[in-house]
Amino acid sequence: MVQSALDCAQECAPSRILVVEDEPLIRFTVAEALRELGVSVIEAASADEAWQYLNSGGAVDLVFTDHRMPGSMLGVELATRIRRAFPSLGVIVTSAYLEGGEWPGPFIAKPYNVFTAAAELAEMASKKRQKEAGP
């Protein structure tokens, strides 16, 4: 069977991860580690900026968000909104200050090894993309 150019473009394109982190050095470090793994990275400095990107039609496979950030919402609030509005979109929250029960979903505690976390995120995004592409 001949694969269409559109199918190949969707399947061959790198995974896309939205990194939401208000600390520029952390955001840059995580983004660069992901890029070294071949991931396309979109960066947001706040939950508000990330939400605006997603609502404007920005496409991603996974969102990795810090919890405590300045702005009108925290990372857990962003994650909850994403789950409601984009239920198929994966969300992982990270924080050093998250209370038990605030977020029932995937979580990476700070401090974390950037390269280990990037590898886990890249694998999650890749699996999601493969699952959506189907057999």
In tens, the pLDDT along 119-128 reads: 999 999 999 8
pTM: 0.89
CATH number for the segment(s) 14-133: 3.40.50.2300
Using only C-alpha atoms, what is the Rg of the chain?
15
Q: How far apart are the C-alpha atoms of 100 and 72, rounded to whole Å?
A: 22
DSSP character for 74? -
pLDDT attached to residue 25: 97
Q: pLDDT at residue 12 above 90?
A: no
Nearest to 54 by CA among 26, 81, 23: 81
In tens, the pLDDT along 40-68 reads: 999 999 999 999 999 999 999 999 999 99
Q: pLDDT at residue 77 above 70?
A: yes
Amino acid at 88: S
DSSP E strand boundaries for the chain: 16-20, 40-44, 62-66, 90-95, 107-109
Q: pLDDT at residue 134 above 50?
A: yes
Domain ranges of the chain: 14-133
